[in-house]
Amino acid sequence: MSVPSSSKGNSEQDVAELKKAIATGAVKDNESGSSSALPPIVCYCVASILMTVVNKFVVSGANFSMNFLLLCMQSTVCVACVLAVKKMGVISFRNFDMQDAKAWFPISFLLVSVIYTGSKSLQHLSIPVYTIFKNLTIILIAYGEVIWFGGKVTALTFVSFIFMVVSSVIAAWSDVSSALSGSLPAVSTGVSLSALQTLAGAVRSLHVGYFWMLTNCLTNAAYVLAMRKKIKSIGFSDWDSMFYNNLLSIPVLAVFSIVVENWGSENLSRNFPPETRNFLLTAIAFSGAAAVGISYTTAWCIRVTSSTTYSMVGALNKLPVAASGLIFFGDPVTVGSVSSIGVGFFAGLVYAVAKNNQKKTEAREKADAIIPLTSRKP
C-alpha cells in the first residue's frame, strides 16, 4: 500500500524535529540512554572543577586587576567554540536575530554582573568558602520563585536551607579565624606597626571578599529568575541562551574594560607578566572552552540519565570543587573548613532529595487531576 505524500512529508518533518530536539538537549535520546551514565557525570565534574581552579589561578595573581578584559576574552573563546561545534553538527541552535538580541540583552547584562562579582569574590576568598556561600543563592532563588512564580518550599527543602546557612556560618568563622591567626604575631609581647598593618589588610580583604560574595548571590538569583521568565516568552533552548549570553556580553565587557580598567603598558605588564604571559593566556582560553564543556556535559548528563541524577551530581560535585582549593591553592585545612564542606555537601544532598520528592508529588497531583475517559460525560 502506497503512503500518501503528505503523510510522508509530515513523517520526515517529525524525524527532523526529533533530531533537532536531541541535538539541543530538549529530549532524551533513546540510543544514548542505553549507554553508560558514568562518562557524562565524570566529564561534568571535571569541567566544573577545571573552570573553578583555572579562574582562581588567573585572578589570584598579586597584581591582577583586569577582570573585565579576562571575562571578555573568555566570552569570545566561548562563542568561537560554540560556533565551531555547531558547524561540526554536534549541536544546533537558532541563528542570530536582532529582535531576539534586543529582548535578551538585559539577561546578558545580568550575567556579566554575575560573572564579574564571582571573579572578584574568588580574588579575595578561598575556593571552599566561595563554593559553600554559592549555596545561599539557592535559598534566594527558591523564595524568589515563591514570590513571583507561585513556587513551594517544602519542609525538607527548608531543612536543607538551614544546613546551607549553618555551613556558610562555619565557613565564614573558619575563614576569619585563619586570616586573623595568620596575621597576628606569634609573640604577644609588643605588637609592631607592620603586624597591625598586616592584620588590617587581612580584615579589609575579607570585608571586600564577602561584599562581592553577597553581591554575587543577589545578582545570580536575579539572573536566574529573570531568565526563567524571559526564556519562556522567547522560546530559547539551552544552547540558544548560552550563545546569546556570551555574544551579547562581549561588547559590554569590552566597553567596561576600556572605560574602567587601566590599559597602560605598565599595568598590562603587571597583569600579564612576560614570564607567565603565554601560560596565562592559555589558561584564559581554556577556561572559556571549559564553560562550553560545562553546558554540553550538563545537557549530556540530563539526556543520558535524568534531571534527578543531575541534581544529585551537582550536590555531590561541591565536595571535589571545594577540595580542589585545599589541594591546588594551599587553603588552610582546619576543623572549621572541613566541617563546612561536609555540612554544605550534606545540605546539597538533602536539597536534591527534597526537589526530587517535590517533583514526584507534583506529578502525582497532576495525574490525579486528569479525569479518566470512562468517567467523562458525553
**Contact yes or no for 344/132 (Cβ under 8 A):** yes
| Distance between CA atoms of residues 360 and 98, nearest Å | 40
| Distance between CA atoms of residues 73 and 315, nearest Å | 30
| Distance between CA atoms of residues 258 and 206, nearest Å | 28
**Contact yes or no for 290/50 (Cβ under 8 A):** yes
Count Cα atoms within 13 angstroms, Cβ side, for 343. Answer: 21
| Distance between CA atoms of residues 191 and 293, nearest Å | 51
Question: Greater confidence, 283 or 324?
Answer: 283
Q: How much is the average pLDDT of 307-323?
A: 62
Question: Greater confidence, 20 or 214?
Answer: 214
Q: How much is the average pLDDT of 168-183?
A: 69
Count Cα atoms within 13 angstroms, Cβ side, for 92. Answer: 12
Is the pLDDT at 34 greater than 80? The verdict is no
pTM for the model: 0.67
Output the average pLDDT for the chain: 74
| Distance between CA atoms of residues 120 and 137, nearest Å | 17
pLDDT for res 251: 92
| Distance between CA atoms of residues 220 and 239, nearest Å | 19
Is the pLDDT at 364 greater than 70? The verdict is yes
Range from 56-70, 111-125, 188-202 that averages highest in pLDDT:
111-125
pLDDT for res 25: 45
Count Cα atoms within 13 angstroms, Cβ side, for 246. Answer: 22
pLDDT for res 80: 92
Is the pLDDT at 222 greater than 60? The verdict is yes
Considering only CA atoms, which of 248, 256, 205, 235 is closest in space to residue 79? 248
Considering only CA atoms, which of 43, 16, 10 is closest in space to residue 304? 43
**Packed helices 277-304 and 238-260: angle between N→C axes, nearest 10 degrees:** 160
| Distance between CA atoms of residues 241 and 230, nearest Å | 10
Q: Radius of gyration of the chain from Cα atoms?
A: 24
**Contact yes or no for 165/351 (Cβ under 8 A):** no
Provide the terminal-to-terminal Cα distance of the chain, rounded to the nearest Å.
36
**DSSP reduced 3-state for 263:** coil
